[in-house]
Amino acid sequence: MNMPQSLGNQPLPPEPPSLGASAEGPGATSPPEHCWPVRPTLRNELDTFSVHFYIFFGPSVALPPERPAVFALRLLPVLDSGGVLSLELQLNVSSLRQENVTVFGCLTHEVPLSLGDAAVTCSKESLAGFLLSVSATSRVARLRIPFPQTGTWFLTLRSLCGVGHRYVRCRNATAEVRLRTFLSPCVDDCGPYGQCKLLRTHNYLYAACECKAGWRGWGCTDSADALTYGFQLLSTLLLCLSNLMFLPPVVLAIRSRYVLEAAVYTFTMFFSTFYHACDQPGIVVFCIMDYDVLQFCDFLGSLMSVWVTVIAMARLQPVVKQVLYLLGAMLLSMALQLDRHGLWNLLGPSLFALGILATAWTVRSVRRRHCYPPTWRRWLFYLCPGSLIAGSAVLLYAFVETRDNYFYIHSIWHMLIAGSVGFLLPPRAKTDHRVPSGARARGCGYQLCINEQEELGLVGPGGATVSSICSS
């Protein structure tokens, strides 16, 4: 393919252009440039920016000493420009026959480039390419080009033998090279410290690595600013163990007979702990289930904890409170599905619950003609400190927390939210065990009669009437 017409009518030249000094000596003249056939490649598209190129009778390529091998790789416009073009050469040492053979490769765009005669280079005038080589000491060579230009890329392979510090044509050695060429979204799938993402900017689709834990580079392999293992372990423990601050509110809620609220706090503590254990950017990661499920449950539990606490403070009727609990759970689930990281997902339910609380307290104060809650101790030692702690937590979450200080600011957020719940959760409602006089006169509306003889099995066959003991 792409062979000149004159190549079939004329015999092949005895010697192609070489990469080093001529083997005939300093007086020999350099042979003229010649056109060599370009071997085509097969294209196999697997996914977005995932293409494999296969050569005929490959993947091993035999390189005779008298001629190079040229391959063409076609990259389509738009479809192939947003990934990483990777090229790997692996030398089969058993094919060298104990000769000092080095295989050079030159990858150029649009124009195939023959390597120079005096030195091993991959450039000519204004044209420059990518040079790589394999030998017995270095058997594998890799080349990666992020966001390559579209069009045709030409790969020229040539085998030379080393003599001292020079390279000359080999006599009889035919080197065998395994060639692997492919297009991938990211370099090595970004490794353990990154995530490969498809991005779009001004209708241009491309793939890039989002590095974590301080790692940088095309494939997240630059560890100059990376976080140490000890710091990763410390941040994980800090985020997970800070959720244990929910244990006092759970115990307090159970003692005050707020069982449903205690269940919500336990749910929040459990899923927040394991979500942060799975959300770590480094290698200190532990996931008990899918990451998306853990994240949804953590966010839902956090919002429900605020919701049920404020509704419990309003001291509404049991039926109204249960309806608000269920309605809040459904609406919060819908809001989290729309946008989990939105600030109004936290502020919206909180403000709505505070509105319900203010309305309930206002109505109760008007009816009693006294400020509610009535005791100043409740305001001074519980409501005011709890409100200050909760307000500080919201301010930290909304305006202070960043990616750099996430580890300790979010841990403080956990402790502040749990501490505010312990202050704001209302005490157990007092029940009046005294029975009004009117209730004694009217009774409870029914009587449970127990036939003493019937319980003992002493009722005669005649069905005689026996006295019964009745209790209200």
Residue 440 lies in a domain: no
> By the 8 A CB rule, do 70 and 37 touch?
yes
Average pLDDT score over residue span 175-198: 89
* pLDDT value of position 456: 38
- What CATH number does residue 192 fall under? 2.10.25
Residue 302 lies in a domain: yes
Average pLDDT score over residue span 177-189: 91
Question: Is the same domain home to 309 and 411?
Answer: yes
Please report which confidence band the pLDDT of residue 297 belongs to, taking 50, 70 and 90 as the band edges: very high
> What average pLDDT does the structure give for the chain?
81
State how beta strands 50-55 and 166-168 pair.
unpaired
The DSSP secondary structure of 327-342, one letter per residue, reads: HHHHHHHHHHHH-SS-
Tally of domains in the chain:
3
pLDDT digit string, tens, across residues 312-352: 999 999 999 999 999 999 999 998 988 888 777 777 888 88
Question: Is the same domain home to 113 and 237?
Answer: no
In angstroms, rounded to a whole number, what is the distance separating the alpha carbons of residues 290 and 274?
11
In angstroms, rounded to a whole number, what is the distance separating the alpha carbons of residues 71 and 87?
12
* pLDDT value of position 283: 79
Residue 438 lies in a domain: no
In angstroms, rounded to a whole number, what is the distance separating the alpha carbons of residues 372 and 93?
89
* pLDDT value of position 11: 40
> Which residue intervals of 369-402 are DSSP H helices?
376-378, 384-395
* pLDDT value of position 116: 47
Please report which confidence band the pLDDT of residue 195 belongs to, taking 50, 70 and 90 as the band edges: confident
pLDDT digit string, tens, across residues 227-269: 888 888 999 999 999 999 999 999 999 999 999 999 999 999 9
CB atoms within 10 A of CB 193: 23
Q: Which of 165, 169, 180, 103 is nearest to 137 (CA)?
A: 103
Residue 406 lies in a domain: yes
Host H or E run for residue 349: helix 344-368
Question: Is the same domain home to 242 and 343?
Answer: yes
Judge whether residue 16 has pLDDT over 60: no
- Name the E strands within 238-348: none
State how beta strands 69-75 and 204-211 pair.
unpaired
Amino acid, single-letter form, for residue 264: V
Question: Is the same domain home to 194 and 102?
Answer: no
Question: Is the same domain home to 256 and 205?
Answer: no
Host H or E run for residue 39: strand 38-39
Judge whether residue 224 has pLDDT over 80: yes
State how beta strands 38-39 and 69-75 pair.
parallel
pLDDT digit string, tens, across residues 367-421: 988 888 888 888 899 999 999 998 899 889 888 988 888 889 999 999 999 999 9
Judge whether residue 32 has pLDDT over 50: no
CB atoms within 10 A of CB 405: 12
pTM confidence score: 0.60
Say which residue, 201 or 24, is predicted with more confidence.
201
Q: Which residues contact 238 (CB under 8 A, 6 or more apart)?
A: 407, 408, 411
Residue 79 lies in a domain: yes
| Distance (Å) of CA 6 to CA 33, 179, 401, 468 | 14, 30, 72, 126
Residue 220 lies in a domain: yes
Domain that holds residue 339: 232-424
Amino acid, single-letter form, for residue 472: S
Question: Is the same domain home to 263 and 370?
Answer: yes
Question: Is the same domain home to 222 and 353?
Answer: no
Average pLDDT score over residue span 186-215: 88
| Distance (Å) of CA 461 to CA 376, 457, 464, 465 | 71, 11, 8, 11
Q: Which of 266, 102, 279, 225 is nearest to 175 (CA)?
A: 102
Q: Read off the DSSP letter of residue 223.
A: -
pLDDT digit string, tens, across residues 124-172: 777 888 999 898 888 999 999 999 999 999 998 888 887 777 788 877 7
Question: Is the same domain home to 135 and 207?
Answer: no
- Report the range of poorest mean pLDDT among 218-222, 237-241, 295-299: 218-222
CA dihedral 134, 138, 140, 142 (to 10 degrees): -80
In angstroms, rounded to a whole number, what is the distance separating the alpha carbons of residues 141 and 160?
16
Radius of gyration for the alpha carbons in the chain, expressed in angstroms and rounded: 40
Question: Is the same domain home to 129 and 277?
Answer: no
Two structure tokens written together for 320: 């109204």
In angstroms, rounded to a whole number, what is the distance separating the alpha carbons of residues 331 and 260?
18
Percent of the residues in the chain that have a pLDDT greater than 90, as a whole number: 38
Cis peptide before 373 (omega within 30 of 0): yes
Distance in angstroms between the alpha carbons of the first and the last residue of the chain: 106
Q: Which residues contact 220 (CB under 8 A, 6 or more apart)?
A: 190, 191, 193, 194, 209, 211, 212
Question: Is the same domain home to 258 and 406?
Answer: yes
Please report which confidence band the pLDDT of residue 436 belongs to, taking 50, 70 and 90 as the band edges: low
In angstroms, rounded to a whole number, what is the distance separating the alpha carbons of residues 293 and 247?
23
Please report which confidence band the pLDDT of residue 96 belongs to, taking 50, 70 and 90 as the band edges: confident
Please report which confidence band the pLDDT of residue 175 belongs to, taking 50, 70 and 90 as the band edges: confident
Two structure tokens written together for 140: 């594998």
Residue 433 lies in a domain: no
Question: Is the same domain home to 90 and 155?
Answer: yes
In angstroms, rounded to a whole number, what is the distance separating the alpha carbons of residues 118 and 158?
15
Amino acid, single-letter form, for residue 199: L
* pLDDT value of position 430: 66
Residue 299 lies in a domain: yes
CA atoms within 13 A on the CB side of 154: 21
Q: What angle do CA 263, 266, 272 make, to 5 degrees?
A: 135
In angstroms, rounded to a whole number, what is the distance separating the alpha carbons of residues 163 and 279?
56
Question: Is the same domain home to 290 and 270?
Answer: yes
Which domain-ending residue is among 226, 258, 287? 226
Which domain-ending residue is among 156, 184, 212? 184
* pLDDT value of position 409: 93
In angstroms, rounded to a whole number, what is the distance separating the alpha carbons of residues 315 and 358?
11
